[in-house]
Amino acid sequence: MAEPYQTYQPKPIVTAKGLIFLALIVGSLILGGLAALVNPLYLILGVVGLVVIFLMVKYDYFGLLVYLLVFLMRPGETYTFLAKVRIELILGACLAFLALIKNKYRYGHFTIPDNKLNLDMLLILGAMCLSFSLSSCKDCTINAIQELLKLAIFFLLIILTIDTRKKLEIFIWAFLLINAKLTFDINWGFYHGQAVYNQGLERATGGNSAMDNFNGIAITMNTMIPFAYYLFFYYREYWQKILMLGCLILFSWTLIITGSRGGLLGFLGILGIIWLQSKRKLALGLFFIVFMAAGWTMLGASSKARYETIFDKNLDESSENRVLAWEDGLEMAIIRPVTGVGAGAFAWARVERFGRYLNPHNMYIQVLAELGFIGAFIYFMFVIDIFRFNFRLLKSVPSRGSPLALLRPLSRAIIASCGSLLITGIFAHSAYRYTWYFVAALTVIAMQFVREMKAVEESSSAGNLAVSASGIDSGSKVNG
């Protein structure tokens, strides 16, 4: 029997695999030639940079994580050439633009999670722009607007990119671990000659503009502690618990070595909020009493003397200057009740009117004086909405067994962190601090997850009812 005729199919001369190998060979030759002319380290960084750019363009979530790293590490403050190009603002704007384009391509139209906090962000930005009209320092207000615009871009990136529970969890871990690295660096500097002697004791300093002084570091630690605390009890795996416990100890100790009195009050506020949210109030209250007593005995004499001044009726020079700044701030708010003296322009406006240069060191005075009464109303509605939505989340999400169980410790942590910011805000001008807008974005995501879960449950219930009704109808026909 004759064999079937087989057509001859020639092999392609050029294949995709061959092109890849050829590109690698040519690229290696080019890099090898350049290595003789340029520092090889720059070539390696260039290649890594190109790979990172490619991954950011292709995977928007990877871009978000890179931006989180850049935002917290702030390389522009270490490398001046990056500061000139405003790396954080430019990178964030490019990533947000890509995220919007992908969002339009994916859904056919722009789809952003619907939440009042989105409007709050726009209104705050609008209030800052309005304050520019009568600002006492135009450049200061422009810088403040640019910083908030950067935060608004970060806010938009988060709510557009994080669309699954896993992405949210990884993002929170990245946030905590990057801050833990920065905190470790602060401790390393403190114990290796970088401590600063100020107001009778050695105090931790360093870091970047997010944690640029004693009070800034203390505020950051207070916002981190609740996340580490609640996630420690949420996770079941030992390695996760160990990491969260390590972060909790690191953040708490760093708070102590700042010597910040406002930071200590914020920490006590966190303990109070945790106690109020606990079901075991008696046991937890006793534990906190023992914990604080033991912690007090571990403090040095200079630290004890510093913290004891909190209860001193006689104000020291630092406290007197702050009270005077508050009084001046209230007067400036009354003088310009609509626009304020300009976002970020408090110190300059104070010099103009009173001849004294000092920032408000009070979030409430800062907002009133810089944004006026209308801006203050908008801002504090934003803060109220953060609390309101997170308390609503606690009622909506089961503690265990739900795919969204992570949202409970997240909401508790946000409530405690923002509570500490309200307390430390009595002693610090932290209205434009990134933490507010970061947790607002996480709140928007959490609310969207709950909304989607309820929609699925309602759809499932409607389907079950339809099946039941169909079964009953069929049974009726048979019986008939």
Provide CB contacts within 8 A for 51, sequence distance 6+: none
Kindly tell me if the per-residue pLDDT of 145 is higher than 50. Answer: yes
The 3-state secondary structure of 229-290 reads HHHHHHCCCHHHHHHHHHHHHHHHHHHHHCCCHHHHHHHHHHHHHHHHHCCCHHHHHHHHHH
Q: What is the CA radius of gyration of the chain?
A: 28
Residue 309: half-sphere exposure toward Cβ, Cα within 13 Å:
18
- Amino acid identity at 46: G
Q: What is the pTM of this model?
A: 0.84
Other Cβ atoms closer than 10 A to 471: 10
Cα 361 off chain centre by: 22
Q: Rounded CA gap, 210 and 203, in Å?
A: 17
**What interhelical angle do 214-234 and 238-257 show, nearest 10?**
160
**Cα 304–Cα 308–Cα 311 angle in degrees, nearest 5:** 165
- Reading the block at residue 465, the tokens are 């009812």
Write a three-state SS string for 180-226: HHHHHHHHHHHHHHHCEEECCEEECCCCCHHHCCHHHHHHHHHHHHH
Q: Look at 193 and 468; give whichever has higher pLDDT.
A: 193
Q: Is the pLDDT assigned to residue 14 strictly greater than 70?
A: no
> To the nearest whole number, what is the mean pLDDT of the chain?
83
Q: 113 versus 109: which is more confidently predicted?
A: 113
Q: What is the pLDDT of residues 79-109, one digit of tens each?
A: 676 666 677 778 888 888 888 887 777 777 6
Residues in the chain, overall count: 480
Backbone φ and ψ for 198, nearest 5 degrees, come out as -150, 130
Q: Which residues on adjacent β-strands are paired with residue 203?
A: 196
Q: Name the percent of the chain lying above pLDDT 70.
A: 81
Contact criterion met (CB below 8 Å) for 158 and 441: yes
Q: How many CA atoms, within 13 angstroms, populate the side-chain half-sphere of residue 440?
A: 30
Classify the C-alpha dihedral 102-104-107-110 as positive or negative.
positive
List the beta bridge partners of residue 202. Answer: 197
The amino acid that residue 414 corresponds to is I
Two tokens, residue 42: 């720059």
Mean pLDDT of 296-321: 75
Going by their DSSP bridges, the two strands 201-203 and 196-198 should be labelled as antiparallel
DSSP H helix total and E strand total for the chain: 18, 2
Let me know: does 255 contact 222? Beta carbons within 8 Å: yes
User: What's the rounded Cα separation, in Å, for the pair 179 and 202?
Assistant: 22
Task: Give the pLDDT mean for 281-300.
Answer: 85
The predicted structure's pLDDT at residue 25: 66
Q: Residues 356-371: pLDDT tens digits? A: 888 888 999 999 999 9
Over the stretch 217-257, which tens digit does the pLDDT of each residue have? 999 999 999 999 999 999 999 999 999 999 999 999 999 88
Contact assessment for residue 111 and residue 452, using Cβ atoms and an 8 Å cutoff: no
- Give the Å distances, CA to CA, from 72 to 92, 239, 245, 422: 13, 25, 22, 22
Per-residue model confidence as pLDDT tens digits over 383-428 = 999 999 999 999 888 767 778 889 999 999 999 999 999 999 998 8
pLDDT higher than 90, residue 314? no
pLDDT score, position 434: 92
Q: Which of 74, 71, 86 is nearest to 154 (CA)?
A: 71
Strand segments, DSSP code E, in 323-453 are none
Burial class (CB in 10 A: 0-12, 13-18, 19+), 20: exposed
